[in-house]
Structure 1
Amino acid sequence: MIRTPLTPVSRKRFRLGLAALGVAAATFAAAVSVGASVSDAAGTKPAAAAAGPTASQLLAKAANCTPASNGKYATDDGEAATVQICKNGSAYTWTSDMDIDCDGVTTSHCSPSTDPWYYNDTSFHTSTGQPFTSDVTHYYVIPLPSSRFSYQSAGISPGSVAAVVYNGNVVYATFADEGPDNIIGEGSYALATALGIDPNPATGGTEGPVTFIVFPGKVPSPIESNTAIDSVGSAAATTWVGGGSTTPPPTGGGTGPIQSGYAGKCVDIAGASSANGAAVQLYDCNGTNAQSWTVGSDGTLKSLGKCMDVTAAGTANGTKVDLYDCNGTGSQKWQKSGSTLVNPQSGKCLDATGPSSANGTRLQIWTCAGATNQQWTLPS
């Protein structure tokens, strides 16, 4: 069924006071019925995410961005455009905030009384020809096609599944609604709930970071079934990261500086000390031995005769990285994934604390996010 749009006004959830200004919701283009001809009882309630890659594996893979959009998107009306849609292998990715899209079938959670921007339809429809139910189905939103980016040209069909990653959680979702052509970052009430995000359509959502990893053409059946969404999504994600296994270690042999995503900054050993526990930090690139690292075929990074090591084999965010006698343990293994370095034992990325580019900034492990403070160039 093709719908005619009523007004072009954005209905992205503007948390910064637009409700008080009385801004109305709008409707969107082309509501199309998609999915199987029969429904699934699993679509009556949110389902737990199926097995698949971890959040860290997905974020590490998503960190390598080839720009796919002709320009960037804002996360809310009136804000600067900072979000780039990226192409990464077979997937499209972006990292943004997440506001709550409560449109679709009226329920106790999603209605004009709970959502100032509520509209009783979605751009695409379920297998039974009905709008989606926001507090039931895990769904996400893509901006309307424009010169900036067209999901249609990218091969992203209605219902295409995505892995949505937030705070270490992975939930698979289906493409069910369109958003404004210049704003990005929305998901359903049920998706927010499953991710641990406040689902209140008027006051909830999160500033993020929330990472959306879209697998074009991977459509569940029935489209509204969370069980089917999980099954198709986890399979697509596993294939995308390479069979669900960890990424290969750095190629051995290179010796030289490890350059940071911050221009002119290198990975450095504080005081050029070779003592166990010497701090690994950022510092202006200077060509000294304290910044010379050898990339081992065994996944180690060696300098001054010792290995880059996660302190006390920790796995928690914020665990510091130091220099230590090479011992073959998982705390001294590093795997290159795009522009990031992942410690497989913890599933976390090498990270400049802060984030900061100042001389003396300690390096640590942190949940992979692909930000500048987690980008590294190894010697070849």
Structure 2
Amino acid sequence: MRVEGGGHVLIDTYGRVATDLRVSLTDRCNLRHGNHRSDQGARATIPVCGTRDVVFWKADMDIDCDGQPGVRCNPRTDPHFSATPAFTQSDGRPLKSETPSFVVVPGPSTLWDHRAHGVRGGSAVAVVRRDRVQYAVVGDTGPAGAIGEASCATAEALGVDPDPRGGGTSSGVTYIVFRDSRVTPLEDRRAAVTTGERLARQFVNGDR
């Protein structure tokens, strides 16, 4: 196993996580009452699927630059910038999109309420794209009914353009959230990697 500084893993074992989800679990979308949209105004074609241990979806990746402002994420670089993401660091300050890897879940609605399925701020996430896995946390909520968004740091680690204006990717990203998990402290990248790697291994091996 080779873990690089950004927290992504480039080995076949974790490519297998994506394969297992895409091939074995696509018909087990029992968590939703309908499909989500990749963006406002797009057709609703993305189901949220699940097993006893994880919830997951395959979507695009839009760039979330919310949180503490920095060089790349601030009101000048992102017209939709917000300094107050849904969840905060352990010290009470907002997360910083440029540093910790986090993903965005839709706000609770009749379509899907993540809280009812063991998903909350700080839940461990494995984000899969091609041969890479980036471990992250749930760090923000977005519009109800839309799905497929992650922090600038998550995108960059997966080889996705992190520019909040024109970056992201239109498809090919699988988001795997481990139910009832918790990364502590939420902003600690090493803790996200350690927790996510352990849960991913257990899931792939059928131990979870």
TM-score, length-normalised on structure 1? 0.51
- Report the equivalent of 2:84: 121
User: Displaced runs of 4+ in structure 1, greater than 4 A?
Assistant: 50-53
Q: Which residue of 1 aligns with 2:127?
A: 164
Going from structure 1 to structure 2, the CA distance change for 1:226 and 1:160 (only over 3 Å counts) comes to same
Deviations 1:68-109 (A, max 9, x none): 111000101111001000013410010000000000001010
* 2:122 aligned partner, one-letter code: G
Tell me the residue number matched to 1:43: none
For residues 176-207 of structure 1, the C-alpha deviation after alignment (integer angstroms, 9 at most, x for no partner) is: 10011110000000000000000000110001
Determine whether 1:144 maps to 2:90: no
Matched AA of 1:58: V
2:200 & 2:11 partners in 1: Cα distance? 7
Quote the offset at 1:224 in angstroms: 0.4
Alpha carbons 1:166, 1:209 under 8 Å: kept:
yes
Alpha-carbon distance between aligned partners in 2 of 1:130 and 1:52, rounded to the nearest angstrom = 35
Equivalent of 1:57 in 16, 29, 43: 16
Once residues 68 and 187 of structure 2 are traced to their aligned partners in structure 1, the CA distance between those partners, rounded to angstroms, is 13
* Superimposed CA distance per residue, residues 127-176 of structure 1 (whole angstroms, 9 cap, x where no aligned partner): 11110000000000000111111111111121101100012110011001
Counterparts of 2:191 and 2:71, CA distance in 1: 25
Larger RCO (alpha carbons 8 Å, 6+ apart): 2
Whether the 8 Å contact between 1:103 and 1:118 is mirrored in structure 2 is: yes
2:118 to 140, 155, 170: 155
- Contact 1:166/1:208, CA 8 A, preserved across alignment: no
CA distance in 2, matches of 1:95, 1:74: 11
Bigger radius of gyration: 1
Match of 1:48 in 2: 7
In structure 1, distance between residues paired with 2:172 and 2:185: 30
Q: What TM-score results when the alignment is normalised by the length of structure 2?
A: 0.91
Q: 2:153 aligns with which of 176, 182, 190?
A: 190
CA separation in 2, counterparts of 1:201 and 1:157? 24
Structure 1 gap ranges (5+): 1-45, 245-380
Kindly indicate whether the alpha-carbon contact (under 8 Å) linking 1:142 and 1:175 is maintained by their aligned counterparts in 2. yes
Deviation track 1:259-289 (CA, whole Å, cap 9, x = no partner) reads: xxxxxxxxxxxxxxxxxxxxxxxxxxxxxxx
1:17-49 residue CA offsets vs partner (Å, 9 max, x unmatched): xxxxxxxxxxxxxxxxxxxxxxxxxxxxx7323
What one-letter code is carried by the residue in structure 2 that aligns with 1:61?
A: D
Residue of structure 2 in register with 1:374 after alignment:
none
- Counterpart Cα distance in 1 of 2:186 and 2:113: 22
Q: Is residue 36–residue 47 contact of structure 2 (8 Å, CA) maintained in 1?
A: yes
Matches within 5 A, 1:1-380: 47-49=6-8, 54-63=13-22, 64-65=25-26, 66-67=28-29, 68-242=31-205
Aligned-residue sequence identity (percent) comes to: 35
Q: Whole-Å Cα distance in 1 between the matches of residues 178 and 165 of structure 2? A: 29
- Compute the RMSD of aligned alpha carbons: 1.7
Gaps of 5+ in 2: none
Superposed CA deviations along residues 336-374 of structure 1, whole A, max 9, x for unmatched, are xxxxxxxxxxxxxxxxxxxxxxxxxxxxxxxxxxxxxxx
Within 1, Cα distance between the matches of 2:63 and 2:36? 17
Query: Per residue, is there more helix in 1 or in 2?
Result: 2
- Conservation of the 8 A alpha-carbon contact between 2:124 and 2:182: yes
Measured after TM superposition, the shift of residue 122 of structure 1 is 0.8
Looking at structure 2, the residues matched to 146 and 52 of structure 1 have their Cα atoms a distance apart, in angstroms, of: 37
Give the distance between the partners of 2:50 and 2:7, measured in 1 at CA: 28
